[in-house]
Amino acid sequence: MNSPFHWRHRQAEFTVANVSDAFGNAVRVFRLVWSTSPFLTGLMLVLTVVSAATPAATAWVLGAILTATDDALRAGTGEFSRVGALIALQAGIVVVAFGLRAGRGAVSSILGDLFTNRTNLMILEKSETLDISYFENAVFYDRLENAQREAREGPMQIVAESFAVAQNAITLLTLIAVLYTIAWWIVLVVIVTTLPALLVEVKFSRERFRLQTWRSPEVRRLGYFRWLITNDDYIKELRIFDLGRHLIDIYRATFDKFFRENRSLTLRSTRATAALQFLGAAASGGVFAYVAYQVVLGTLRIGALGTYYIAYQQTVEATNQLLQGITRIYERGLFVNNFFEFLEFEPLVDPGVEGKKVPRPLAQGIEFRDVHFTYPGTETPVLEGVSFKIEPGQTVAVVGANGAGKTTLVKLISRFYERNAGDILIDGADIREYDVYDLRTQIGVIFQDYGRYQETASINVGYGSLPDIADKERIERAADLSGAHDVIADLPDGYETQLGRWFRDGVNLSIGQWQKIALARGFMRDAQLLILDEPTSSLDVQSEHEVFERFRELTKDKMAILISHRFTTVRMADRILVIDGGLIIEDGTHEELVARAGVYAGLFEMQAAAYR
């Protein structure tokens, strides 16, 4: 299984293994393109093959025109019919070449749109299957950044280069045949003067790969800065603390660093390319002088001079393009490996699609037995032997310092992570025996870091239960339970009002109003377990009291877990768990824990004193 937690940058050394991987990826891309549209891919191949023959045909016909003209001049008859026919043929070849080029451009554009959309969807679909542990890991985002970049550019570039290589290979073979009719050694001159270009291109391809791969964390950081500077949630704080200019300075410095690296690479590449082009020009001039001399001696006809000039220039161009194309396929094959490696990620939590359904209703509830857990990629345990049980119809509050592991309990129940040791039981059966997707339908969670969707108020609430997203009555009932109904009723278009500022006619809400919307989303689901993770932190005292009165009604016959720092809320629970150092250190009702004069009693007294 390919995990993001122990990933190192792939080296771009020119080894047999890397070359094999790079070109193997090109083959995989081509298969993907073919499966995207066999018709368009086949049409592109046909147009490519036919286009490849036009340069050699142009060179041959030009030589024939010059020879026919010379024959006519020597005959002195003024006969132009053969020359005219050849010129007409040349014009026809030019028209066909233009038509083929335009056709290939149109087919390539359409095929490119289809294929780019498919690769982007492949990344989105893969991301949707991965568990939350991936998205809480910075290395994974580097992989995602690389994969998304390659989905936009890499695969289709490989396809375009593959077609270009095929065309240049066919063109080269036909042109070599034409040059061979003049002198066989001219072919060797072409090879000797163009082969060094391959080595130069490989060298700079490796450097480009290293630069772009190693930059991923910094590129993501620049993207984050762009988002911060233009996001309405942060704009007030950026202005008051004058953070905008500070972030722009960091952005500018990072860009300048990238620019210097790119400029160095470009200049070195340009110097090497210029030296090779000088070598090619010298060889071309020498061979051209030789052919002209042979024409003067009468060894060759004058048409050979025209044929050579066109054929040699086209051969050099086709050879350069062929070698550069192969090198670019190698380079893109290295890059596109990021895309294919991303698609190989698998969930770390077994989805258990063949697992059993959660009992409806639950008879025994949920139980933690000596559960241990450490987040992947870290060494500090969060839970070190947690044990407790929640019975049907019971509301349990969990309190503790930040980082004590309260939200981790929710993540384990929701199967976002697997515990390292111990047992989590649902109605006496291991939680891993249940189908993950079915399990989650029985859990309604309202997280502290709730989502603020740039959609209508109705959709924002309806997202809590997609099967019921069109049920207006259910949506309004959930909004009423959370206190969001009055907020929505005052909006310009009620439940059809666009929320957020990202789209036209959008209305932004206060943090407290957004929180009521999020609560409504959680109340949409008819779940057996409701979890509120600091759900009312942005509500005033009266709104919070109203929400929990409704919450108590909603959870009469259900299980509920309440995570909160407000003891006015916590004391409403049937039982209170105090977590510290990865363990449940206290367990009881509010009255029992206060009477015990332990950690909970001390925290309660500190908070109560603030209101006296």
Cα gap 120→113, rounded to integer Å: 11
CA–CA gap between residue 516 and residue 525 (Å, rounded): 15
| pTM greater than 0.95 | no
Which residue shows structure tokens 């992989």?
143
418, pLDDT greater than 70: yes
pLDDT band at 344 (very low <50, low <70, confident <90, very high): confident
- Sheet containing strand 575-580, strands side by side: 443-446, 529-533, 559-563, 395-399, 575-580, 583-588
Give, in degrees to the nearest 5, the angle at Cα 56 between 55 and 57. Answer: 90
Q: Given a cut of 80, is residue 436 above it in pLDDT? A: yes
- Stretch 93-99: mean pLDDT: 83
* Other beta carbons less than 10 A from residue 470's beta carbon: 10
Our measurement of the distance from residue 591's CA atom to the centroid of its chain's CA atoms, rounded to an integer in Å, reads 52
Reported as a pLDDT band with limits 50, 70 and 90, residue 171 is: confident
- Tell me which of 379 and 187 has the higher pLDDT: 379
389 has which bridge partners? 367
Report yes or no: 319 and 192 within 8 Å, Cβ to Cβ. no
What pLDDT, on the 0 to 100 scale, is given for residue 8? 44
| Per-chain mean pLDDT for the chain | 77
| pLDDT of 14 above 50 | no
Can you tell me the distance from the alpha carbon of 258 to that of 211, in angstroms, rounded to the nearest whole number? 9
* pLDDT recorded at residue 407: 84
pLDDT at 4: 53
Structural domains of the chain sorted by starting position, each given as residue range(s) with its CATH number in brackets: 15-343 (1.20.1560.10), 352-442+529-612 (3.40.50.300), 453-526 (3.40.50.300)
Can you tell me the distance from the alpha carbon of 476 to that of 524, in angstroms, rounded to the nearest whole number? 9
Task: Compute the distance between CA of residue 125 and CA of residue 501 in angstroms, rounded to an integer.
Answer: 27
Contact 332, 161 (CB under 8 A): yes
Residue 502 CB partners (closer than 8 Å, separation 6+): 454
Calpha distance 101→98 (Å, rounded) = 5
Q: How many CB atoms lie within 10 A of CB 366?
A: 22
Instruction: Count CB-CB contacts under 10 A for residue 378.
Output: 9
| Residue 203, C-beta contacts closer than 8 angstroms, at least 6 positions apart | none
pLDDT of residue 375: 85
Instruction: Calculate ∠ Cα 109-202-322, nearest 5°.
Output: 50
Contact, 166 vs 30, CB < 8 A? no
Write down the pLDDT at residue 371. 92
Res. 529: pLDDT tops 80: yes
| pLDDT score recorded for residue 558 | 81
Q: Dihedrals φ, ψ of 370, to 5°?
A: 50, 50
Q: What is the DSSP string of 525-566?
A: S--SEEEEESTTTTS-HHHHHHHHHHHHHHTTTSEEEEE-S-
Reference 442, options 365, 520, 523, 360; nearest CA is 360
Tokens 């603390």 sit on residue = 241
Q: In this structure, what token pair is assigned to residue 28?
A: 């995989």
Cα dihedral: 486, 489, 492, 495 (round 10): 120
Please work out, in degrees rounded to the nearest 5, the angle formed at the alpha carbon of residue 24 by the alpha carbons of 22 and 29. 95
Maximum Cα–Cα distance across the chain? 126
Instruction: Tell me the C-alpha distance between 147 and 123, whole Å.
Output: 8
- For 104, the token pair is 């290939």
Residues 535-576: tens digit of each pLDDT = 665 566 666 666 666 666 667 778 888 887 777 778 778 888
Q: Which of 381, 376, 386 is nearest to 413 (CA)?
A: 386
Among the residues of 53-80, which ranges form H helices? 54-75
Sign of CA dihedral 323, 325, 328, 332: negative
Residue 463 has what pLDDT? 86
The bridge status of strand 395-399 relative to strand 575-580 is parallel
Taking the alpha carbons at both ends of the chain, their separation in whole angstroms is 57
Fill in the DSSP letter of residue 345: B
Token representation of residue 247: 């972030």
Which of the four pLDDT bands, split at 50, 70 and 90, describes residue 107?
A: confident
Q: What local confidence, expressed as pLDDT, does residue 373 receive?
A: 92
Q: Which residues contact 429 (CB under 8 A, 6 or more apart)?
A: 356
SS (H, E, C) 101-154: HHHHHHHHHHHHHHHHHHHHHHHHHHHHHCCHHHHCCHHHHHHHHHHHHHHHCH
What pLDDT, on a 0 to 100 scale, did the predictor assign at position 198?
59
**For the residues 181-198, what does the mean pLDDT come to?**
68
Left (φ > 0), alpha (ψ -120 to 50) or beta: where does 59 sit? Answer: alpha
pLDDT band at 9 (very low <50, low <70, confident <90, very high): very low
> Residue 318 burial by CB count (10 A; 0-12/13-18/19+): exposed, middle or buried?
buried
The Cα–Cα gap between 25 and 158 comes to 9
Rounded Cα distance, 339 and 358, in Å: 36
φ/ψ of residue 579, rounded to 5: -110, 135
At 372 the pLDDT is 93
